[in-house]
Structure formats: structure tokens, C-alpha cells
Amino acid sequence: MVLSRHSLIRDKPSKSELFKLYNNESMSIRETAETLGCSKDMVYRALNEYGIERRDHRMKKSQLRDYDLSFLKREIKNKGYNRVASELGVHNTTLRRYVKKETLQG
């Protein structure tokens, strides 16, 4: 069986999943593409087709900043990344990256 290049590339993401990751979870274009298993170009095209406005990358603000880092770490220790991410309405990768970044900066 021979796989073509096109069979390895995922179809355009749905508007709802794209909006959730890019807007609600404040993922970057690259993070969104990785999470959805598609290319950055596909994310750019889908944003344009769905009329979802791109953020100025300098204005990115994670909703996780509303929580104290020690609180997040305590919750993760007690419940695990998946459960805490689900309760906060973010992807577990977003939570992991945020905690890692804030820990390194602090």
C-alpha cells in the first residue's frame, strides 16, 4: 500500500475546533496546527475562510494568567494535567506549556 502525500495531511479543521484552540485557548498558529494535525498554512487558510480574525501576536494573553501558578501546580499534583485542563476549558498541552514557561521564568 502506497500512501500519497495528501493522505498524510488532515482536512481543514472545523470552525468550532479552530475557534476554541486559537481564540478561547490562545494557542499560536503553530500550536493550533500541531494540535489539529495539520499545517500552519491550513490554519491560516481556515481562519480566513471562516472569517476568524487573527490576533496580533504581541497581544496574546492566555486565560491561564488569571490563575496563580502555585494553585495550578497544586491542582495538577492532586488531579493530573488532563482533569485540570478539562476543568479550566483548555487543552492539556496548553496547560503543560504554560506551567513550564511560567516555572522557568519565575
Average pLDDT per consecutive 10 residues, the chain (106 residues; last block may be shorter)? 45 90 86 90 94 73 82 96 90 89 83
Q: How far apart are CA 92 and CA 103, in angstroms?
A: 16
In the structure grid, which three cell numbers stand for residue 56, read together? Answer: 496580533
Residue numbers of the domain that contains 86 = 62-106
Task: Indicate whether this model's pTM tops 0.95.
Answer: no
Is 101 within a domain? Answer: yes
Whether residues 31 and 48 share a domain: the answer is: yes
Whether residues 56 and 72 share a domain: the answer is: no
Helix ranges (H only) for 1-106 are: 15-19, 29-36, 40-50, 69-79, 81-88, 92-105
Whether residues 16 and 57 share a domain: the answer is: yes
Is 92 within a domain? Answer: yes
Q: Report the number of distinct structural domains present in the chain.
A: 2
Q: Are 89 and 24 in contact (CB under 8 A)?
A: yes
Q: What are the angstrom distances between the C-alpha of 22 and each of 3, 71, 78?
A: 30, 25, 28
